[in-house]
Amino acid sequence: MRVAVLDDYLKVAESLADWSSLKADVKFFDQFIQPDQLAKTLADFDVVVAMRERSAFPAAVIEAMPKLKLLVTTGLRNNSIDLEACRQKGVVVCGSPGDPKSTGATAELAWALMLALFKKIPQESVNMTNGLWQTSMPPTVEGKRLGLVGAGQLGKKVAKVGQAFGMEVVAWSPNLTEERAAEAGVKLVSKQELFSTSDAISVHMVLSDRSRGVVDAASLTSMKPTAFIVNTSRAGLIDQVALRALLEQGKIGGAGIDVYDSEPLAANDVWRKTPRTLLTPHLGYATPENFAVFYPNVVANIAAWAAGKPQRVLT
């Protein structure tokens, strides 16, 4: 049995689980494999381990991998895998949960980005190393309005922190009701009101065909010129062209971005040079606690499948 472990950018997968217990030939890939090379590179592997949604497995790739029998993903949902194509080809797909105590890691990162934007920490830190002193007046957070696009598990966690800071927290999503908003401790408002009145906006929705582009150009254009937007969910939720144009024109205060249409972000990608941005490399889920649970669960999934008793099957 040959096992490919993909997208091990941090080079930690081998040390975090007992791969030798599989009695298999395991190869770790610490570099991103280009989509047009994925099927060819993995043609001789029986088992492929995908790190979340880093590498995509559409039908064309699945069909071009003659030996593939098992596809294991970290996490229990992976929108980059064509499950129907796997079903038709008889490829088993299993999910591997992470650390349950790390469910708030993405919310923590959202707040790290938001506070850094409010308090102008990146700029002031650079200015300090350059010998300068007090080059801006960072605004207070207390009393400001925080708008949440999505008030699910992560949105609720972000809301609690905002309320602890003394912010007014409002929320909107296509399916959010007043009852669910009340359960989250936030006020339901219209999409237009959220974008036009919030001082900071944080996006917390699952990307799907229905939610793609839910933060459209009209919504972004209605934002206050001083407002910030933070996205730790998925890039496809926001009109990327419109957002970049507003940032370049200085029509909104700034953006904290952890997710991109293409990952890993190319070294020459335009986002790296877009002004008024604070960029992180999709760190929301990448905690040592999560990875230390992801990979042992991956090994357990492979062992269970090899024994004829696959577990956590997603297909």
Q: Which residues are catalytic?
A: 234, 263, 282
Instruction: Quickly count: other Cβ atoms within 10 Å of residue 72's Cβ.
Output: 26
Query: Measured between alpha carbons, how far is 191 from 188 in angstroms, rounded to an integer?
Result: 9
3-state SS assignment for residue 38: helix
Residues 113 and 107 sit within 8 Å (Cβ to Cβ): no
- Could you identify the residue written with the tokens 């610490």? 30
Q: Is the N-terminal amide bond of 174 cis, ω within 30° of 0?
A: no
Angle between helices 153-164 and 105-118 (to 10 degrees): 40
Contacts of 149 (CB under 8 A, 6+ apart): 171, 172, 173, 194, 201, 202, 203, 204, 205, 214, 215, 237
For the chain, the C-alpha Rg in angstroms (whole number) is 21
**Ramachandran bin of 185, using left for φ above 0, alpha for ψ from -120 to 50, beta for the remaining angles:** left
Is residue 178 classed exposed, middle or buried when 0-12, 13-18 and 19+ CB atoms within 10 A define those classes? exposed
- Residue 252 in tokens: 């909104």
Q: Which among 46, 3, 45 has a CA at the least distance from the CA of 25?
A: 3
**Ramachandran bin of 107, using left for φ above 0, alpha for ψ from -120 to 50, beta for the remaining angles:** alpha
Query: Measured between alpha carbons, how far is 147 from 108 in angstroms, rounded to an integer?
Result: 16
Helix (H) or strand (E) holding 287: none
